[in-house]
Amino acid sequence: MADVFDALTSDRPYRNGLGFDAATSAIRNDAGLHFDPDAVSAFLTRRNAIVERLRKLGKADVTMAEPEAA
């Protein structure tokens, strides 16, 4: 899940990255659909540590509030 979170919050040539909260919501919403619910639960348990690590690596939160519809 940490790699999905990083991918969702990273800018791509075709879209801007999501904010940390929006990426978390996107992952939570896909529990049981695209992601194993146990993996999502484990991610949510460690989410704050993951965000802190990303910030220490220089990744700033962005303000985009909602994921784009697929």
Q: Is residue 62 a part of any domain in this protein?
A: no
Q: Is residue 63 a part of any domain in this protein?
A: no
CA-CA distance, 10 to 58, in Å (whole number)? 12
Q: Is residue 21 a part of any domain in this protein?
A: yes
Q: Is residue 48 a part of any domain in this protein?
A: yes
pTM tops 0.75, yes or no:
yes
**pLDDT digits 0-9 by tens, 9-36:** 989 999 899 999 999 999 999 999 999 9
Q: Is residue 36 a part of any domain in this protein?
A: yes
Q: Is residue 45 a part of any domain in this protein?
A: yes
User: Residue 42, SS3?
Assistant: helix
Instruction: State both tokens at 16.
Output: 């801007």
User: Residue 70, SS3?
Assistant: coil
Structural domain of residue 49, as residue ranges?
A: 2-10+17-56
pLDDT interval class at 66 (50, 70, 90)? low
Q: Indicate the number of domains in the chain.
A: 1
